[in-house]
Amino acid sequence: MPTAASTGRAFFATGGPRVATARAGNVIGGGDWAEDRLLPDAMRAFEGGRAVRVRNPASVRPWQHVLEPLAGYLMLAERLCDGGDWTGGWNFGPREDDAIPVAALVELALGAWGDGRWEAAYDSPRTITVPSDLEARLVKSAKARRAFEKLDSRNRYAILYRLHHAKRADTRQRRLDQFVAMLEAGRTIH
């Protein structure tokens, strides 16, 4: 994939505008009401009297308000115009010590809103349970049961998560059949 520097060299080798690319992640604030965005989803849930479903509450993210990277973009453009060598790729983000867990940001939003609640969107590897249909299949197949009991936590969670979150009954049944066959063959997901 071409970089800003290689594109600049290819198209502007004899002069012309300086080229840079910039991005920013975990940006909050300012009219982003798209689906699957933490704070917009939280505001919709608070407004509707529902719990906010948080996918990864323990994940730590370097959150930043939209005006912070915007200021960085403007400074980069200014520096490019001033003639310094500011070409290349840039990733705008806050200091590492400003990063906080997702759950802490949701708690801050709850405090500002004044009312509401949140819950984990799905069980953690420590709390997820073996569904009864898998349990029944493991009782029928000693080979699959032994393999399941020997799985590391990552592979165990991968199976349980995929079964718990199948949206359709036929998808769940197909996954269940595949996982039992996989276990009987001594294979794992990861």
Q: How far apart are the first and last CA of the chain?
A: 28
Is the Cα torsion angle 147, 148, 152, 156 positive or negative in sign? positive
Assigned domain for 67 exists: yes
Dump pLDDT digits (tens) for 127-175.
Answer: 889 999 999 999 999 999 999 999 999 999 999 999 988 889 999 999 9
Same domain, 63 and 152: no
Q: CB neighbours of 168 closer than 8 A, spacing ≥ 6?
A: none
Same domain, 146 and 76: no
Q: How far is CA 106 from the centre of its chain?
A: 15
d(CA 161, CA 155): 10
d(CA 162, CA 133): 13
Same domain, 110 and 51: yes
Model confidence pTM above 0.75: no
Assigned domain for 47 exists: yes
Cβ–Cβ < 8 Å for 55, 119? no
Mean pLDDT lowest among 2-11, 87-96, 99-108, 131-140 = 2-11
Same domain, 151 and 84: no
How confident is residue 8, by pLDDT bands cut at 50, 70 and 90? low
Q: What is the CATH number of the domain that holds 93?
A: 3.90.25.10
Same domain, 29 and 85: yes
By percentage, how much of the chain surpasses pLDDT 70?
A: 94
**Structural domains in the chain (count):** 2
Same domain, 172 and 99: no
Sequence letter at residue 115: D
Range of the domain at 96: 17-120
17 has a pLDDT exceeding 80: no
- What the block records as the tokens of 98 is 């400003």
Q: CB neighbours of 45 closer than 8 A, spacing ≥ 6?
A: 51, 52, 53, 116, 118
Task: Please identify, among 94, 120, 146, the residue that sits at the C-terminal boundary of a domain.
Answer: 120
Cβ–Cβ < 8 Å for 128, 167? no
Same domain, 166 and 114: no
